Copies of this chain bind each other. A is one copy, B any other.
Amino acid sequence: MDRLAFTPIGVIHTPYQHLQDMPIQPAGAKGAVGTIVVEEAYAEGLADIEGFSHLILLYFFHASKGYELKVKPFLDDQIHGLFATRAPRRPNPIGLSIVPLLRREKNILHVDCIDVLDGTPLLDIKPFVPEFDAPAATATGWLEGKANLARRLRSDERFRE
């Protein structure tokens, strides 16, 4: 298929310089404040974003190289299909985090619960809207009863390459 080219619209700055010991989801990163510096050329597009309590961040997993189709994720000791996990090494390594917006200063967004490496390239920001994004009555397969472990579990280097 055709290759598609994307260009980052900004950079996410965070307290995490290394994959080791980083939170694996926003739920485990409460109090970890990140700074999203959107390129000034796009600042006008941030108007009205401060009305939203939570943002969907799409970003590039820049520290992840390659991928395997079967992986042992952080939250289990069993192997699962890659697309049934949130592992960062993916054919298209696009990450997704939903984080609370603390405040905006012009082209800079301060967010809580950031769970990405410092210097992560930002691809898109969308407002989180529960009516669109939070279906009721969900089942979560192998993650059933394990997802809340993400509140305390930390990452390691396994998905670097």
Contact = CB atoms under 8 A, between A and B. Distances in A.
A102 interface: no
How many copies are assembled? 2
Given A6-B92, A84-B127, A54 B135 contact: yes
10 contacts: A4-B6, A4-B123, A9-B92, A45-B70, A52-B139, A54-B135, A85-B127, A94-B94, A98-B133, A100-B135
Contacts of A39: 1
Given A5-B4, A148-B131, A141 B50 contact: yes
A108 interface: no
A107 to B, nearest CB: 11
Nearest to A143: B129
A49 to B, nearest CB: 4
Contacts of A140: 51-53, 127-131
Interface of A: 1-9, 25-27, 38-39, 42, 44-54, 56, 58, 60, 69-70, 80-86, 90-92, 94, 96, 98, 100, 121, 123-135, 137-144, 147-148, 150
A6 B3 contact: yes
Contacts of A135: 26, 53-54, 98, 100, 128
A96 B128 CA distance: 11
A127 B47 contact: no
A83 B104 CA distance: 13
A86 B2 contact: no
Given A45-B70, A51-B140, A86-B127, 17 more contacts: A6-B6, A9-B92, A42-B83, A46-B83, A47-B81, A49-B141, A51-B84, A51-B139, A53-B138, A56-B96, A58-B94, A90-B124, A100-B135, A129-B147, A130-B140, A130-B147, A132-B150
